[in-house]
A and B are shown apart, each in its own frame.
Chain A
């Protein structure tokens, strides 16, 4: 594995710039993450943070809305914009030679957007379409509802918001959200791929050095609640979502928890895939993964199955999860280690994966963790480490959402 070199620079205005040169690639990627995530939305404006991604790109600096799309296409940007609970991110992957032009464009978009009032109606329609599309995806519907049950109505609110929220958003909401949340303090710009760090840093200082914004103020996160909810809907399958508390990314036990989730769900010999699908044929999809906010985390799981097999699917799945504390085999842990090592090395083939890792590390831990460091941590994990975590933090207080023709029996 190549030794990773990560550059870090904090501008006077507070913007953090992270750079990871990867000279062997033909591509570069960047992402600008701003402290403008979903939980910063006013309670009655669900969907505002996501709508900003639309409004911000409808003209900026010298460019019209059409100019921006033409530039993105002609530079060949594989671009994306999106919001999570805490952050709004704008970024792209591209052939390495256009990185500087792309950064120029995105400085205009994020610092000097027009947010034209006469386009608000169209942008709101786009948000409404996203909301409608989710209604037709039962899996997404279940997982979105589950996230709210787990994290809280605001902290777990979906990016697409809700109908009442979208219908009440006015132009003044857009302007004030931009003024308050799109600011250098708390923002991170990560760049990876084939580039010269000094050139990129120089460019970024010119583009973002004068950026001023509202002073930082943290908005507290709300809390989730427990329980079981059933969404009654005629459907070929019963969709089951479940979650439980787990340590966040910043916690020192994180990798012990993560290893347990890997043993449950990474790969075709993982416990859930093997014991729920392969041995019993109960379902096509079953999985579990961890997720983290800054101050807390959770494990989220999903299984989709036909109604007559749904109860058994839920029972077997939860039983497998709880039995992690009863012990794991050395071979399971060894497979996990090879898997982690492989994926860390393969991450070196993608500038956009490197950007995503750097951003996540910085946001959750305030520093970038190199692949070598993670490899060493994983390599040193023992069976006892993993079992200890799952014994000290036994999965309990399951939040469960089902969608289908009839509810299930859920453990109290």
Chain B
């Protein structure tokens, strides 16, 4: 039986859980509402750098203790940072609930020791170098910078090599004090969870969480300047690339916009990896390695992305194919058959994901953190089922009426 439970602790920490007494495992996560969009130029990359430092020990545990205990609980644990959230999570056997909550909760009050700072700085610089070597060779970061400006949602999650090299422990501590207050955090859980025990334990071990030192507001950025290490050329020279890469962004619904379901179905019809219009035009024919479209929802807006990967000499021809596909949808909409197919595929995929608590955790945590909303599986499926052809036509018009923002990554940056 699936049950949703939630509570807010006196210190402001919110707890939300979808409990399932038939489960074999339990997933827990701290969802902190902070990410790249909350940083200033001087802080660029700090959310993600901090995420790494959270594993480096607390008053009660050394860094080695944290890693060792995570492994002793035998589960899968990790963390990620996005534009709007930083999430720390673990999936364990139900018998380890209290130990994993003790550990994750303790990690949320890290020691941020200066001695670990420089070692971890190297790891981050390695991570930046790793992504520079990978497709699409910076084209995603660049298109976000062009579409949103290099600040706010366009801020690079990893920061730049320059901003990471210049980062100081003091900047990180100020940022932590400003962003990791309990009222900015959701503790979410899914699977075979003892909710009452969870709430009790969390209340006890986070009782002193409000006592963060007051941090100074950061100096506002000079928006007339471009942050160090950032370029705003839509053409990226990727000398090692044998393929050509095109990334596009168009507007899409925000996280609480009811039309987000229609937008997801629209991008499935246009750019899913099988059976979509892009698939039949570009993938089935072997004209492109990849031609995909999908959406991402933020608090106040959304983005529809298009990615095209193909030999550089075919980039411009294939781009025209994509334009024609999008124009046709703007003009004629999609067919009933396409919409049914997209719904069937999406609904099946939701059902398949729901078997694992580790998948459900993110739906529960994101929904509660970003929208204060819990959507059970049946309600979500129903929302997809109700999307009409007219709904899809409307989101298509809103997304594609204006030309998209584009970036290209190609060896020799052909113009």
Q: Which residues of B (250-265) have their CB < 8 Å from a CB of A? A: none
Residues in A whose Cβ lies below 8 Å from that of B22: 24
- Contacts A125-B286, A237-B133 hold; do A338 and B345 have CB atoms under 8 A apart? no
Segment with Cβ contacts to B, from A36-44, A198-206, A266-274, A394-402:
A266-274
Q: CB < 8 Å: which of A27, A233, A266, A346 contacts B25?
A: A346
A334 CB to nearest B CB, Å: 7
- Contacts A76-B344, A95-B351 hold; do A132 and B71 have CB atoms under 8 A apart? no
Residues in A whose Cβ lies below 8 Å from that of B349: 76, 78
B328 close to chain A: CB less than 8 A: no
**CB pair A95 B67 closer than 8 Å:** no
**CB pair B289 A132 closer than 8 Å:** yes
B352 close to chain A: CB less than 8 A: yes
A236 close to chain B: CB less than 8 A: yes
Instruction: State in angstroms the CA–CA spacing of A121 and B75 once bound together.
Output: 47
Q: Which residues of A (309-342) have their CB < 8 Å from a CB of B? A: 309, 331, 334-335, 338-342
Instruction: State in angstroms the CA–CA spacing of A25 and B357 once bound together.
Output: 12
Q: CB < 8 Å: which of A130, A342, A348, A351 contacts B74?
A: A342
Q: How large is the interface on B (under 10, 10 to 19, 20 to 34, 35 or more residues)?
A: 35 or more
Instruction: State in angstroms the CA–CA spacing of A335 and B73 once bound together.
Output: 8
B317 close to chain A: CB less than 8 A: no
Interface string of A225-265 (1 = CB under 8 A from B): 00000000111110100000000000000000000000000
B321 close to chain A: CB less than 8 A: no
Instruction: State in angstroms the CA–CA spacing of A258 and B275 once bound together.
Output: 40
Segment with Cβ contacts to A, from B34-42, B202-210, B238-246:
B238-246
B283 close to chain A: CB less than 8 A: yes
Interface string of B119-158 (1 = CB under 8 A from A): 1111101110110111100000000000000000000000
Q: CB < 8 Å: which of A94, A237, A338 contacts B129?
A: A237
B344 CB to nearest A CB, Å: 5
Which of B24, B286, B288, B354 has the largest count of A CB atoms less than 10 A from its CB?
A: B286
**CB pair B93 A345 closer than 8 Å:** yes
Of all chain A residues, which has the CB nearest B119? Answer: A281
Residues in A whose Cβ lies below 8 Å from that of B348: 75-78, 94-95, 98
**CB pair A73 B275 closer than 8 Å:** yes
B355 close to chain A: CB less than 8 A: yes
Residues in B whose Cβ lies below 8 Å from that of A27: 351-352, 355
A305 CB to nearest B CB, Å: 6
B284 close to chain A: CB less than 8 A: yes
Q: CB < 8 Å: which of B64, B93, B121, B352 contacts A274?
A: B64
Segment with Cβ contacts to B, from A135-143, A148-156, A168-176, A358-366:
A135-143
Interface string of A55-75 (1 = CB under 8 A from B): 000000000011001101111
Instruction: State in angstroms the CA–CA spacing of A282 and B92 once bound together.
Output: 30
A295 CB to nearest B CB, Å: 32
Instruction: State in angstroms the CA–CA spacing of A284 and B284 once bound together.
Output: 36
B72 close to chain A: CB less than 8 A: yes
**CB pair A278 B67 closer than 8 Å:** yes
Residues in A whose Cβ lies below 8 Å from that of B274: 69, 72-73
Instruction: State in angstroms the CA–CA spacing of A74 and B22 once bound together.
Output: 29
A123 close to chain B: CB less than 8 A: yes
- Contacts A135-B242, A234-B239, A306-B126 hold; do A339 and B74 have CB atoms under 8 A apart? yes
Which of B74, B77, B120, B242 has the largest count of A CB atoms less than 10 A from its CB?
A: B74
A350 close to chain B: CB less than 8 A: yes
**CB pair B289 A130 closer than 8 Å:** yes
Q: Which residues of A (86-129) have their CB < 8 Å from a CB of B? A: 93-95, 98, 121-129
**CB pair B240 A74 closer than 8 Å:** no
Q: CB < 8 Å: which of A70, A93, A237, A338 contacts B341?
A: A70
Residues in A whose Cβ lies below 8 Å from that of B342: 73
Of all chain A residues, which has the CB nearest B73? Answer: A338
Of all chain A residues, which has the CB nearest B346? Answer: A76
Instruction: State in angstroms the CA–CA spacing of A75 and B55 once bound together.
Output: 43
**CB pair A65 B352 closer than 8 Å:** no
Interface string of B74-98 (1 = CB under 8 A from A): 1111000000000000011100000
Of all chain B residues, which has the CB nearest A351? Answer: B355
**CB pair A125 B287 closer than 8 Å:** yes
Residues in B whose Cβ lies below 8 Å from that of A26: 351-352, 354-355
Instruction: State in angstroms the CA–CA spacing of A59 and B386 once bound together.
Output: 33
**CB pair B356 A306 closer than 8 Å:** no
Instruction: State in angstroms the CA–CA spacing of A345 and B67 once bound together.
Output: 22
**CB pair A268 B134 closer than 8 Å:** no
A285 close to chain B: CB less than 8 A: yes
**CB pair A74 B356 closer than 8 Å:** no
A329 CB to nearest B CB, Å: 11
Q: CB < 8 Å: which of A69, A233, A284 contacts B240?
A: A233
B389 close to chain A: CB less than 8 A: no
Instruction: State in angstroms the CA–CA spacing of A194 and B75 once bound together.
Output: 25
Instruction: State in angstroms the CA–CA spacing of A273 and B127 once bound together.
Output: 14
Instruction: State in angstroms the CA–CA spacing of A340 and B91 once bound together.
Output: 14
B309 close to chain A: CB less than 8 A: yes
- Contacts A26-B351, A69-B274 hold; do A278 and B130 have CB atoms under 8 A apart? no
Q: CB < 8 Å: which of A98, A136, A341, A345 contacts B242?
A: A136
A207 close to chain B: CB less than 8 A: no
Instruction: State in angstroms the CA–CA spacing of A268 and B242 once bound together.
Output: 35
B273 CB to nearest A CB, Å: 11
Residues in B whose Cβ lies below 8 Å from that of A121: 286
Of all chain A residues, which has the CB nearest B55? Answer: A268
A223 close to chain B: CB less than 8 A: no
Instruction: State in angstroms the CA–CA spacing of A338 and B69 once bound together.
Output: 11
B285 close to chain A: CB less than 8 A: yes
**CB pair B72 A284 closer than 8 Å:** no
**CB pair B72 A334 closer than 8 Å:** yes
Q: CB < 8 Å: which of B68, B92, B287, B289 contacts A335?
A: B68
Among all A-B residue pairs, the 10 with the closest Cβ atoms: A76-B348, A125-B286, A338-B74, A281-B122, A342-B74, A281-B119, A268-B67, A267-B71, A129-B289, A284-B126
A residues with CB within 8 A of B: 1, 24-27, 65-66, 69-70, 72-78, 93-95, 98, 121-130, 132-133, 135-138, 233-237, 239, 266-270, 273-274, 277-285, 304-306, 309, 331, 334-335, 338-343, 345-346, 348-351
Additional 11 contacts, C-beta under 8 A, given A69-B275, A129-B310, A136-B242: A27-B351, A66-B280, A73-B341, A75-B348, A76-B345, A78-B349, A234-B239, A278-B63, A279-B119, A281-B119, A349-B24
A-B contact pairs, 11 of them (CB 8 A): A70-B275, A74-B341, A75-B348, A124-B286, A274-B67, A281-B118, A304-B133, A338-B74, A339-B74, A349-B23, A349-B24
